[in-house]
Structure 1
Amino acid sequence: MSRPISGQVVVITGAARGVGALLARKLAARGARVALVGLEPAELAKVAGDLGADGAAWEADVTDGEAMARVAAEITGRYGRVDTVVANAGIATGAPFLDADPVTFDRVIEVNLLGSVATARAFMPALVAARGYYLQIASLAALAPAPMMAAYCASKAGVEAFAHSLRAEVGHQGVKVGVGYLSWTDTDMVRGADQDAVLRELRAGLPWPLNRTYPLGPAVDRIAAGVERRAPHVYAQWWLRGMQAVRGCLPSVVGLVGQREMRRAEPRLRATAADRRGLVGAGGQADEAIREVFRADP
């Protein structure tokens, strides 16, 4: 069941850039009151400045349960309620599992999966009170596992399963839960991954439509429409809906094709292994900077 988005209070995590920032602008243009949550105060301030008087931003690490509980209380106190939460915060790394930095690998799962859990835990009481909507941003990676992306695929498969379980638990309390799927979309994260020549070439070798980078605007338009519909599934690219029907076959196909491509790329991957031990994109760099601050001043 849809509700008019105008006047709704919408919380978006990972709102400093990319999908989160554009979604905030589009929903605000439709009359929503949008609360931004993220790590980059300067970028958050830019987005908040585009949202009008009803837009505001909170700096918080989604993996910090206490901080998220405080943010949820402050947002609820400011607006009086929360109607919709979009759990969008996410980071990525791209490297073979055996070459990956263990701390970076674990951080991807911590932010993408446990950060979503902390977001839901913080805001679900308000959503129950409002009979609201929780949209979990997942990915094509939840449907199709891929080499070089073990942490990201594991985390996105995890958030998909988490959201489906949550839907069954809170539906009788009036809360709708949706899962959003995106393929490669023109964000800082994807552009950051494409700076790695080996990763870029491996992705270019994927079959259509998996080998394309899709424009951000139309993808976010689809997500915004899904928020308005309170949809159980939201597909940022039209063809992703069809992937659901064949997802059971995909691990076997990827396993066969992936072995061939990894064998071909292995010499170059080994020669450049040191170049891909960190997080990709500007958002990943922001997360690494925050962790450096905490290591320096625990």
Structure 2
Amino acid sequence: MPTVRHNRPHPAEHDSPLRGRVAVVTGAARGVGEALARRLSAQGMRIALLGREEETLSQVAATLATTTVCVAADVTDQAALDRAARQVEERLGAADVVVANAGIAVGGPFTSTDAELWRRVIDVNLVGAANTARAFLPQLARTRGYFLQIASTAAFGSAPMMSAYCASKAGAESFALALRGEVEPEGVAVGIAYLHWTGTDMLAGIDEHPVLRALRRHQPSFARRIHSPAQVADWLATGVTHRARSIYAPPWLRWCQPLRPLFPFVVSRVARHELREGSTDDLGADVGVLGAGGHADWTSFRSET
């Protein structure tokens, strides 16, 4: 059963056009999902927190400024998401905003990464986004709402040793672009958020990842900056308010869009140098699942299979 909390209103909610509306955020237990839920709640939205970790979701809900509902659901399970959508509507009303944020990452060579783990990244990041859209689009059609797909600059240029994550984020971007054309006639807007270096627990192991470490080292100083989840959530919330087609976190990323044809070449060149210079032990090590959220998902998944 979902957990519902009725929290005290936040003063800022009276100034926001989002006041009283319903937002659904997947992957809301920590990181960007948690920070965005907090930011949207501060603007007066009623929040549905979806994720695998029910206890952690409840802890987040207890700190929010408005009414929330917590639903434990695996985004790769369409039936579970369909049930979650019904529970959200029953408890809060039809969704006005749905944020497909749930995501995990794994680092390491493709050939030494467990095949089931590799597929899990694709399932959560890409199939999970599609499942989320399928479950909530009927509500968004009624509210003429907004669907936000969280993507990444990983879609700009694929990094070796991150094949599943890069493929899934590129696929999620393509899915959202295709979906946009289908649902716009119904009044549903679709946005895509491009996140760069963000200080979540997923990034905590970056120094153990030779290619990502090299890519960051070769970027200009302003592009190497790691932004906090709270800062990223501010940019995302502004985009949600304006039903933006594209959200860039940080904003300067918008100027990279015209240069995207060059990025695969640049990434490939840096990666080739790093792979050539690195030791066999360093490059052959399977870094594994990145971040506490990814570990929690993988542990739960393995226990169920």
TM over 0.5: yes
Give the 5 Å matches for 1:207-246: 207-208=219-220, 209-246=222-259
Map of 1:205 onto structure 2: 217
Corresponding letter in the other structure for 2:301: R
> Is the partner of 1:148 in helix, strand or coil?
coil
Corresponding letter in the other structure for 2:300: I
Q: Is the 8 A contact 1:222 1:235 kept in 2?
A: yes
Map of 1:287 onto structure 2: 297
TM-score (norm 2): 0.90
Unaligned runs of at least 5 residues, structure 2 = 1-15
Q: Is the 8 A contact 1:92 1:108 kept in 2?
A: yes
Cα deviation 1:236-280 (Å, max 9, x = unaligned): 102211111100111122222221111112424246x14x2x311
Give the 5 Å matches for 1:29-48: 29-48=42-61
> Is the partner of 2:244 in helix, strand or coil?
coil
CA distance in 1 between counterparts of 2:111 and 2:231 reads 37
Tell me whether 1:28 sits opposite 2:38 in the alignment. Answer: no
Map of 1:130 onto structure 2: 143
Map of 1:154 onto structure 2: 167
Map of 2:203 onto structure 1: 190
CA distance in 2 between counterparts of 1:292 and 1:257 reads 35
Q: Is the 8 A contact 2:159 2:211 kept in 1?
A: no
How many residues align? The count is 289
Tell me whether 1:171 sits opposite 2:184 in the alignment. Answer: yes
Cα gap change, 1:166/1:27 in structure 2, threshold over 3 Å: closer, same or farther?
same
The structure 2 residue matched to 1:88, chosen from 84, 91, 101, is 101
Map of 2:85 onto structure 1: 72
Question: RMSD across aligned C-alpha pairs, in angstroms?
Answer: 1.6
Cα gap change, 1:270/1:223 in structure 2, threshold over 3 Å: closer, same or farther?
closer
CA distance in 1 between counterparts of 2:207 and 2:276 reads 21
The structure 1 residue matched to 2:276, chosen from 255, 258, 263, is 263
Q: Is the 8 A contact 2:126 2:169 kept in 1?
A: yes
Tell me whether 1:117 sits opposite 2:130 in the alignment. Answer: yes
- Large movers: runs of 4+ above 4 Å: none
Could you tell me how far 1:56 is from its partner in structure 2?
1.5
Cα deviation 1:81-133 (Å, max 9, x = unaligned): 11010000000011122222211111111100000010000000100011000
Could you tell me how far 1:214 is from its partner in structure 2?
2.0
Larger deviation, residues 172-181 vs 211-220: 211-220
CA distance in 2 between counterparts of 1:280 and 1:197 reads 10
CA distance in 2 between counterparts of 1:204 and 1:250 reads 13
Corresponding letter in the other structure for 2:296: A
Corresponding letter in the other structure for 1:110: D
Map of 2:19 onto structure 1: 6
Corresponding letter in the other structure for 1:194: I
Q: Is the 8 A contact 1:204 1:212 kept in 2?
A: no
Structure having the higher strand fraction is 2
Cα gap change, 1:53/1:216 in structure 2, threshold over 3 Å: closer, same or farther?
closer
Corresponding letter in the other structure for 1:290: S
> Is the partner of 2:148 in helix, strand or coil?
strand
CA distance in 2 between counterparts of 1:252 and 1:60 reads 39
TM-score (norm 1): 0.92
Cα gap change, 1:100/1:210 in structure 2, threshold over 3 Å: closer, same or farther?
farther
Larger deviation, residues 207-216 vs 89-98: 207-216
Cα gap change, 1:151/1:131 in structure 2, threshold over 3 Å: closer, same or farther?
same
CA distance in 1 between counterparts of 2:136 and 2:213 reads 41
CA distance in 2 between counterparts of 1:289 and 1:101 reads 14
Could you tell me how far 1:182 is from its partner in structure 2?
0.5
Cα gap change, 1:179/1:153 in structure 2, threshold over 3 Å: closer, same or farther?
same
Q: Is the 8 A contact 1:198 1:268 kept in 2?
A: no
Percent identical among aligned pairs is 46
